[in-house]
Structure 1
Amino acid sequence: MLSTSLRVLPDAFGALAIAAAFAFLLTAPDSAIANGYQSPTGPRPVEFLINSQWQTGLHLVDSSTESLIMAKDGWLHTVDANKRTENMRPTSERYQPASAMQMRNQLRAEFGRDFDVVATQNFLVVQPRGRGNRWPDMFENSHRAFVEFMTKRGVRVRKGRFPMVAVVLPDARAMYAELDRLKIDVSRVAGIYANRCNRVLTHDGGRLSDIAATVRHEAAHQSAFNSGVHSRVNDTPSWITEGIGQMFEPESLAGGIVGSTHRIADRMNQESIRHLRNTLSLNRSDDMVRWVERLVDGDDAFRDQSSVHTAYAVSWAMMFYLAERDHTAFADVLHFTATRPPFENYRRGQRRIDFERIMGIDTVTFANRLTRYLNELP
């Protein structure tokens, strides 16, 4: 099932500038956040006017047209450069992320009486009234399985400073109306993860089995970006982010079945492996070499409708192979991409150099081994 994981960005800012907010909150010491971060070159507390109300936030970066600010609930807002004087002002108020209770009250006010806001250890789940614990359990179990999976493979996992928010609308029409309200332009999706509001959005208008894989994919993105497995201050290759999302689509993985004693078929993304077997010639590695090199070098395949499904499937295969056969390289590639210098464009040639250094082999050898591994799978 093809998923959509949106980085919803104000036009004047690149993904790296937007991402600084979340990375700051993940990595800054508690004292820096509690006391206000006053570095002249870093985020600093301001008051800003949004929806006719003054709020306190972190002023992250300016462009020639806008200023980017993170509110206490983790949302990202912009102030027009021509209105900075009247709509943004310095403050001595300390910046503290909103508490779970504050965010829960905000969500209740935002969605009204027709929705419950259910709190779990790591989530606030907005859902139509009377839905019980099905959705909260899915999100919470998916996150816990994600943390367990990564930890067992030596990946560093941090605890985010904001509760993660998942919004379940009553049906697809209501979901698209909410996406329109948030100015997110997508179609034909069962759910998305949008980083501007740091929320997963989906709907409850059909059989859960029909959309569950997409929800688990998007929940994995949310877990990864909120736990520091992926960084929001740098340019992470899409084969890594989408490969992780694809890995957690199977119910067994998201449900916590991650040990080596379980059948590998339970951990496989069956849709991805079927697509590869139907699309690529796996009895020789030429096709895989071309795809591995295309994904390692850039992200264009994910923007091309004629190649996007194969891009997702090959990304799954690459990350699944590393997770199953080479835990060290799996952890190393995630650690490296999460700690690259911020605000730096990840150039095509450098991506190839870094990949081959981390893997200890060139892309052709990697693709050959990957092809043999896929042929061994049940």
Structure 2
Amino acid sequence: MAAAILCTGLLHNEAGGEPVTPASPERSQHLVSSKTLAPSIRPGLVEFRIGNKWQSGLHLIESQDESLVIGRDGWLHTISRTEKSESMRSVTGKFLPTTSVELRNQLRAEFGREFEVIATQNFLVVQPRGRGSRWPKMFEQCHRSFVNYMERRGVKVREGRFPMVAVVLPDARAMYDEIARLGIDVSRVAGLYANKCNRVMTHDGGALSSIAATVRHEAAHQSAFNCGVHSRVNDTPSWVTEGIGQMFEPTAMSSGRSGTRLVERVNKDSVRQLRETIDMDDPAEVARWVDRMIRSDDLFRNPTTIHTAYALAWSMMFYLAERDTDAFADILNFTATRPPFETYRSGQRMIDFERVVGSDVRDFSNRLTRFVADLPAK
């Protein structure tokens, strides 16, 4: 299982593994508090100061305490109310995201001569010199497979406005140092996607096979947030975001054909986890787990249930993707367009789920139980 999505990102319409213990999803740690959110503003061009450096960006959201701004490079920043008069000013002009050439030069300066920056159609991949084309090809293929899979199922996919960045560090220690440099608190991961800076990070210190599933999981998060499949500032349920990540862990899901047979698309680790922790012959027990999953993200925050939460999230999204594509597309299209920073309360989550899926939890769980029963675990 992979690391959680960390940090928050931007409004989707403005933005253009290794067997480890995953961190719990932290999308609730918004950059701007939902309790103090002011009425929506029309995004406007601003100049803002971070440290001693001024840069241009878009002012996205205003609250009583702070403002959320996105820079030309896709990074998100908060400007507190007390600093706003001295650190942010409105300007005229058009917002122009950083070009691939500009960002490539910035990455070269940021990581130094021991690294190279390889450009693909959709990525800038930072990696230690001499690693060849293995990583760039992997990230590019993951993204193309993701887009193909989503479009074939009616999910709205758009082209992102910012170049996607993937950073491959030479070993695990270097990766943790880089994660710490960015102010991210996480441990025991093979990789992660931090959507505050819109980067996937992993390391090249072990066999590729041991971390490939995590990389595919995190690359799916990055593709989802850059293509508008998820919004990067609203409260999307973890079973939706992490279910998608789990779906793309199998090798076949990044093969270019997204797996020609259903058996190739099955996350067998998730199937085994479900059968070990939930009585899948008891639809009532499955329904209790599904009900709890829909109503809140608590299962992802509890160390005793987190692995089962990832597996159950996978099964729910995989079932919809394979057996009810209309509901699969509707779930993603609906959650991607919810208002930014609006708390998604338990009751409303359930109402929306039953409306979109077209059945209650008991009926859905019965169908899910029969579907999982026929899936291979080996």
TM-score, structure 1 as length reference: 0.90
> Given the alignment of the two structures, is residue 145 of structure 1 paired with residue 135 of structure 2, yes or no?
no
User: Which residues of 2 match residues 278-317 of structure 1 at below 5 A?
Assistant: 278-317=276-315
2:41–2:61 contact (8 Å) kept in structure 1? no
Which residue number corresponds to residue 265 of structure 2?
A: 267
1:23–1:233 contact (8 Å) kept in structure 2? no
Call closer, same or farther: CA 1:80–1:340 in 2, change over 3 Å.
Answer: closer
Call closer, same or farther: CA 1:62–1:147 in 2, change over 3 Å.
Answer: same
Provide the rounded CA distance (Å) in 1 between the counterparts of 2:80 and 2:282: 55
Secondary structure of 1:95's counterpart equals coil
Which residue number corresponds to residue 14 of structure 2?
A: 24
Residue 45 of structure 1 and its aligned partner are, at CA, apart by 1.4
Residue 203 of structure 1 and its aligned partner are, at CA, apart by 0.5
> Given the alignment of the two structures, is residue 221 of structure 1 paired with residue 243 of structure 2, yes or no?
no
Secondary structure of 2:159's counterpart equals coil
AA paired with 2:15?
Answer: L
Provide the rounded CA distance (Å) in 1 between the counterparts of 2:237 and 2:77: 25
Call closer, same or farther: CA 1:174–1:354 in 2, change over 3 Å.
Answer: same
Call closer, same or farther: CA 1:40–1:226 in 2, change over 3 Å.
Answer: closer
Name which structure has the greater RCO, CA cutoff 8 Å, separation 6+: 2
1:220–1:245 contact (8 Å) kept in structure 2? yes
Which residue number corresponds to residue 117 of structure 1?
A: 117
> Given the alignment of the two structures, is residue 128 of structure 1 paired with residue 119 of structure 2, yes or no?
no
Instruction: Compare 250-259 and 289-298 and name the one that shifted more.
Output: 250-259
Residue 7 of structure 1 and its aligned partner are, at CA, apart by 3.0
Provide the rounded CA distance (Å) in 2 between the counterparts of 1:6 and 1:323: 21
Residue 248 of structure 1 and its aligned partner are, at CA, apart by 0.1
Provide the rounded CA distance (Å) in 1 between the counterparts of 2:313 and 2:83: 43
AA paired with 2:366?
Answer: N
Residue 110 of structure 1 and its aligned partner are, at CA, apart by 0.5
Secondary structure of 1:25's counterpart equals coil
AA paired with 1:66?
Answer: E
Q: Percent identity?
A: 60
Residue 93 of structure 1 and its aligned partner are, at CA, apart by 4.1
Residue 40 of structure 1 and its aligned partner are, at CA, apart by 9.2
Provide the rounded CA distance (Å) in 2 between the counterparts of 1:333 and 1:40: 24
2:5–2:193 contact (8 Å) kept in structure 1? yes
Residue-by-residue CA offset, 1:226-251 (whole Å, 9 max, x unaligned): 10111124221111110000000001
Secondary structure of 2:4's counterpart equals strand
Secondary structure of 1:24's counterpart equals coil
Which residue number corresponds to residue 353 of structure 2?
A: 355
Which ranges in structure 2 are unaligned for 5 or more consecutive residues?
17-38
Which residue number corresponds to residue 7 of structure 2?
A: 8
Provide the rounded CA distance (Å) in 1 between the counterparts of 2:371 and 2:228: 29
Provide the rounded CA distance (Å) in 1 between the counterparts of 2:156 and 2:360: 26
Provide the rounded CA distance (Å) in 1 between the counterparts of 2:149 and 2:40: 39
AA paired with 1:6?
Answer: I
Residue 163 of structure 1 and its aligned partner are, at CA, apart by 0.9
2:6–2:184 contact (8 Å) kept in structure 1? no
Residue-by-residue CA offset, 1:98-148 (whole Å, 9 max, x unaligned): 111111111111101111100100001000001111000110000000011
Which residue number corresponds to residue 323 of structure 1?
A: 321
Provide the rounded CA distance (Å) in 2 between the counterparts of 1:353 and 1:73: 38
Secondary structure of 1:23's counterpart equals coil
> Given the alignment of the two structures, is residue 55 of structure 1 paired with residue 55 of structure 2, yes or no?
yes
Which residue number corresponds to residue 162 of structure 2?
A: 162
Instruction: Compare 242-251 and 229-238 and name the one that shifted more.
Output: 229-238
Residue 342 of structure 1 and its aligned partner are, at CA, apart by 3.4
Residue 357 of structure 1 and its aligned partner are, at CA, apart by 1.3
AA paired with 2:367?
Answer: R
Secondary structure of 2:13's counterpart equals helix
1:23–1:232 contact (8 Å) kept in structure 2? no
> Given the alignment of the two structures, is residue 373 of structure 1 paired with residue 363 of structure 2, yes or no?
no
Which of the two has greater helix per residue? 1
Which residue number corresponds to residue 339 of structure 1?
A: 337
Secondary structure of 2:193's counterpart equals strand
TM-score, structure 2 as length reference: 0.90
Provide the rounded CA distance (Å) in 1 between the counterparts of 2:270 and 2:363: 22
Which residue number corresponds to residue 247 of structure 2?
A: 247
AA paired with 1:24?
Answer: E
Residue 91 of structure 1 and its aligned partner are, at CA, apart by 1.9
Provide the rounded CA distance (Å) in 2 between the counterparts of 1:171 and 1:118: 19
